Amino acid sequence: MQCSPKSYRFIFLTLTLVTVMAFALGCGSSGSHNTVIRFVNASPNQASLNVLIDGVSVQSALANGGSSTNYLTVQPGSRHIQMQDPNTSQNLIDDTISVASGSRTTFIATNYIGLITPVVLTDDNSAPASGAFKLRLINVAPNLGSADVYIQPGGTDINTVTPTTTNLAYTSASSYVSTTAGSYEVVFTQAGFKGILAGGNSIAFTGGQVRTAMVLNDPNGITFSEVLLPDSK
Protein backbone atom coordinates (compact mmCIF):
# COMPACT_ATOMS: atom_id res chain seq x y z
CA MET A 1 0.00 0.00 0.00
CA GLN A 2 1.36 3.39 -0.95
CA CYS A 3 1.82 5.96 1.82
CA SER A 4 -0.01 9.24 1.61
CA PRO A 5 1.90 12.56 1.53
CA LYS A 6 0.75 13.17 5.11
CA SER A 7 2.32 9.87 6.18
CA TYR A 8 5.62 10.81 4.55
CA ARG A 9 5.60 14.15 6.35
CA PHE A 10 4.90 12.42 9.67
CA ILE A 11 7.76 9.95 9.16
CA PHE A 12 10.13 12.76 8.12
CA LEU A 13 9.26 14.89 11.14
CA THR A 14 9.62 11.92 13.49
CA LEU A 15 13.07 11.05 12.14
CA THR A 16 14.13 14.69 12.33
CA LEU A 17 12.98 14.97 15.94
CA VAL A 18 14.83 11.79 16.93
CA THR A 19 18.01 13.04 15.27
CA VAL A 20 17.79 16.43 16.98
CA MET A 21 17.16 14.82 20.39
CA ALA A 22 20.11 12.48 19.97
CA PHE A 23 22.36 15.39 19.02
CA ALA A 24 21.17 17.47 21.96
CA LEU A 25 21.72 14.64 24.42
CA GLY A 26 25.16 14.03 23.03
CA CYS A 27 26.10 17.69 23.45
CA GLY A 28 24.66 17.81 26.95
CA SER A 29 26.67 14.85 28.15
CA SER A 30 29.91 15.74 26.40
CA GLY A 31 32.58 16.81 28.88
CA SER A 32 30.18 16.86 31.85
CA HIS A 33 29.87 13.16 32.63
CA ASN A 34 32.60 13.28 35.30
CA THR A 35 32.45 16.98 36.19
CA VAL A 36 30.97 17.11 39.69
CA ILE A 37 30.72 19.38 42.70
CA ARG A 38 29.57 18.87 46.29
CA PHE A 39 28.69 21.39 48.98
CA VAL A 40 29.50 21.41 52.70
CA ASN A 41 28.02 23.64 55.41
CA ALA A 42 30.84 24.17 57.91
CA SER A 43 29.55 27.54 59.15
CA PRO A 44 29.13 27.27 62.93
CA ASN A 45 26.61 30.13 63.11
CA GLN A 46 24.42 29.37 60.09
CA ALA A 47 22.03 26.55 60.97
CA SER A 48 21.25 25.70 57.34
CA LEU A 49 21.81 26.90 53.79
CA ASN A 50 19.99 26.59 50.50
CA VAL A 51 22.28 25.88 47.54
CA LEU A 52 21.74 27.06 43.97
CA ILE A 53 23.78 26.42 40.83
CA ASP A 54 23.19 28.86 37.96
CA GLY A 55 19.98 29.99 39.67
CA VAL A 56 18.57 26.48 40.05
CA SER A 57 18.00 25.04 43.54
CA VAL A 58 20.00 21.84 44.11
CA GLN A 59 19.78 21.53 47.91
CA SER A 60 17.42 22.94 50.53
CA ALA A 61 18.38 23.52 54.17
CA LEU A 62 21.85 21.95 54.16
CA ALA A 63 22.54 21.70 57.89
CA ASN A 64 25.69 22.97 59.54
CA GLY A 65 28.11 20.75 61.43
CA GLY A 66 29.77 19.57 58.24
CA SER A 67 26.73 18.19 56.43
CA SER A 68 27.40 17.67 52.73
CA THR A 69 25.54 17.00 49.53
CA ASN A 70 26.36 14.14 47.23
CA TYR A 71 28.54 14.98 44.25
CA LEU A 72 26.31 16.77 41.74
CA THR A 73 26.97 16.62 37.99
CA VAL A 74 27.51 20.01 36.32
CA GLN A 75 28.63 21.34 32.98
CA PRO A 76 32.32 22.36 32.91
CA GLY A 77 33.08 26.07 32.71
CA SER A 78 31.87 29.01 34.80
CA ARG A 79 29.22 28.12 37.37
CA HIS A 80 27.28 30.65 39.43
CA ILE A 81 27.05 29.42 43.04
CA GLN A 82 24.68 30.89 45.60
CA MET A 83 24.14 29.80 49.20
CA GLN A 84 21.14 31.40 50.85
CA ASP A 85 19.55 31.79 54.25
CA PRO A 86 16.45 29.55 53.97
CA ASN A 87 14.37 31.97 56.05
CA THR A 88 15.07 35.13 54.06
CA SER A 89 16.45 33.88 50.70
CA GLN A 90 19.32 36.33 51.24
CA ASN A 91 22.50 35.36 49.39
CA LEU A 92 25.15 34.70 52.02
CA ILE A 93 27.53 33.45 49.32
CA ASP A 94 27.26 34.67 45.74
CA ASP A 95 30.24 33.45 43.76
CA THR A 96 31.24 32.34 40.27
CA ILE A 97 33.77 29.54 39.98
CA SER A 98 35.36 27.76 37.05
CA VAL A 99 35.27 23.96 36.98
CA ALA A 100 37.41 22.01 34.56
CA SER A 101 36.01 19.15 32.51
CA GLY A 102 36.23 15.89 34.44
CA SER A 103 37.09 17.63 37.73
CA ARG A 104 35.70 17.00 41.23
CA THR A 105 35.18 20.07 43.43
CA THR A 106 34.32 20.56 47.09
CA PHE A 107 32.68 23.92 47.92
CA ILE A 108 32.68 24.63 51.67
CA ALA A 109 30.80 27.43 53.43
CA THR A 110 32.65 28.59 56.53
CA ASN A 111 32.25 31.55 58.86
CA TYR A 112 34.71 34.02 60.29
CA ILE A 113 33.62 37.00 62.41
CA GLY A 114 30.06 36.64 61.16
CA LEU A 115 31.00 36.64 57.47
CA ILE A 116 30.23 33.45 55.53
CA THR A 117 32.91 32.79 52.94
CA PRO A 118 33.61 29.91 50.54
CA VAL A 119 36.54 27.52 50.47
CA VAL A 120 36.80 25.88 47.04
CA LEU A 121 38.99 22.80 46.66
CA THR A 122 39.80 20.43 43.82
CA ASP A 123 39.44 16.80 44.87
CA ASP A 124 41.65 13.93 43.74
CA ASN A 125 39.80 10.62 43.68
CA SER A 126 42.46 8.76 41.71
CA ALA A 127 43.13 5.34 43.19
CA PRO A 128 45.92 5.01 45.75
CA ALA A 129 48.52 2.29 45.55
CA SER A 130 47.32 -1.27 46.12
CA GLY A 131 46.48 -1.87 49.78
CA ALA A 132 46.56 1.83 50.65
CA PHE A 133 44.05 4.65 51.23
CA LYS A 134 44.37 8.40 50.68
CA LEU A 135 43.35 11.07 53.18
CA ARG A 136 43.23 14.87 52.83
CA LEU A 137 43.07 17.17 55.87
CA ILE A 138 41.15 20.48 56.01
CA ASN A 139 40.97 23.17 58.69
CA VAL A 140 37.71 25.14 58.61
CA ALA A 141 37.59 25.91 62.34
CA PRO A 142 38.04 29.69 62.71
CA ASN A 143 38.54 29.57 66.49
CA LEU A 144 41.28 26.97 66.26
CA GLY A 145 43.88 28.94 64.34
CA SER A 146 46.55 26.72 62.80
CA ALA A 147 46.39 23.00 63.50
CA ASP A 148 48.72 20.04 63.74
CA VAL A 149 47.17 16.81 62.49
CA TYR A 150 48.13 13.25 63.36
CA ILE A 151 47.21 10.13 61.38
CA GLN A 152 48.22 7.43 63.85
CA PRO A 153 47.38 3.80 64.63
CA GLY A 154 44.57 3.41 67.16
CA GLY A 155 45.73 3.61 70.77
CA THR A 156 48.93 5.54 70.00
CA ASP A 157 50.11 7.99 72.67
CA ILE A 158 50.14 11.31 70.84
CA ASN A 159 53.13 12.42 72.94
CA THR A 160 55.30 9.75 71.32
CA VAL A 161 54.76 10.71 67.67
CA THR A 162 55.22 13.71 65.41
CA PRO A 163 52.37 15.31 63.43
CA THR A 164 51.60 14.10 59.93
CA THR A 165 50.83 17.71 58.95
CA THR A 166 51.93 20.81 60.85
CA ASN A 167 50.62 24.38 60.96
CA LEU A 168 47.55 23.71 58.82
CA ALA A 169 46.07 27.21 58.64
CA TYR A 170 42.37 28.09 58.75
CA THR A 171 40.71 27.48 55.33
CA SER A 172 43.75 25.44 54.21
CA ALA A 173 43.94 21.85 53.00
CA SER A 174 46.82 19.42 52.99
CA SER A 175 47.84 17.28 50.07
CA TYR A 176 46.38 13.78 50.04
CA VAL A 177 48.38 11.48 52.31
CA SER A 178 48.71 7.86 51.19
CA THR A 179 48.84 5.31 54.01
CA THR A 180 48.58 1.53 54.33
CA ALA A 181 44.98 0.46 54.97
CA GLY A 182 44.04 -0.25 58.58
CA SER A 183 42.55 1.35 61.70
CA TYR A 184 43.78 4.86 62.47
CA GLU A 185 42.97 7.86 64.61
CA VAL A 186 42.86 11.24 62.89
CA VAL A 187 43.68 13.81 65.58
CA PHE A 188 43.60 17.61 65.36
CA THR A 189 45.48 19.75 67.89
CA GLN A 190 46.40 23.40 68.08
CA ALA A 191 49.71 23.91 66.29
CA GLY A 192 52.62 23.23 68.64
CA PHE A 193 50.50 21.58 71.33
CA LYS A 194 49.58 17.97 72.09
CA GLY A 195 46.12 18.48 73.56
CA ILE A 196 43.53 16.70 71.39
CA LEU A 197 40.82 19.11 70.22
CA ALA A 198 39.03 16.91 67.66
CA GLY A 199 39.19 13.31 66.52
CA GLY A 200 40.86 10.48 68.35
CA ASN A 201 38.32 7.77 67.56
CA SER A 202 39.53 4.71 65.68
CA ILE A 203 38.49 4.69 62.01
CA ALA A 204 38.83 1.66 59.75
CA PHE A 205 40.24 2.65 56.34
CA THR A 206 40.18 0.04 53.59
CA GLY A 207 42.38 -0.24 50.53
CA GLY A 208 41.32 1.99 47.65
CA GLN A 209 39.38 4.50 49.76
CA VAL A 210 39.86 8.25 49.29
CA ARG A 211 38.66 10.42 52.18
CA THR A 212 38.74 13.98 53.51
CA ALA A 213 38.89 14.72 57.24
CA MET A 214 38.11 18.25 58.36
CA VAL A 215 37.98 20.05 61.67
CA LEU A 216 35.32 22.67 62.34
CA ASN A 217 33.91 24.76 65.17
CA ASP A 218 30.80 23.64 66.95
CA PRO A 219 28.08 26.36 67.05
CA ASN A 220 29.18 27.59 70.49
CA GLY A 221 32.60 28.47 69.06
CA ILE A 222 34.46 26.84 71.94
CA THR A 223 34.63 23.14 71.09
CA PHE A 224 35.60 21.41 67.86
CA SER A 225 34.52 18.36 65.89
CA GLU A 226 35.89 16.19 63.11
CA VAL A 227 33.94 15.23 59.99
CA LEU A 228 34.97 12.56 57.49
CA LEU A 229 33.84 12.98 53.87
CA PRO A 230 34.01 10.27 51.17
CA ASP A 231 35.87 11.47 48.07
CA SER A 232 35.32 8.06 46.47
CA LYS A 233 33.56 4.82 47.37
Instruction: Indicate the number of domains in the chain.
Output: 3
CATH number of the domain that 130 lies in?
Answer: 2.60.40.2890
Question: Distance between CA 139 and CA 88 in Å, rounded?
Answer: 29
Angle at alpha carbon of residue 28, lines to 20 and 78, rounded to 5° = 140
Q: From first to last of the 233 residues of the chain, give the pLDDT tens digit.
A: 555 544 444 444 444 433 333 333 333 333 345 899 999 999 998 999 999 999 999 999 999 999 999 999 999 999 999 999 999 999 999 999 999 999 999 999 998 777 899 999 999 999 999 999 999 999 999 999 999 999 999 999 999 999 999 999 999 999 999 999 999 999 999 999 999 999 999 999 999 999 999 999 988 778 999 999 999 87
**Same domain (yes/no): 114, 128:** no
**Same domain (yes/no): 143, 230:** yes
Within 10 Å of residue 102's Cβ, how many Cβ atoms? 12
Host domain of residue 23: 1-30
Angle at alpha carbon of residue 163, lines to 131 and 138, rounded to 5° = 75
**Same domain (yes/no): 95, 146:** no
**Same domain (yes/no): 133, 216:** yes
**Same domain (yes/no): 218, 169:** yes
**Same domain (yes/no): 99, 22:** no
**Beta strand 104-112 with 36-41: parallel, antiparallel or unpaired?**
parallel
3-state SS class at 21:
helix
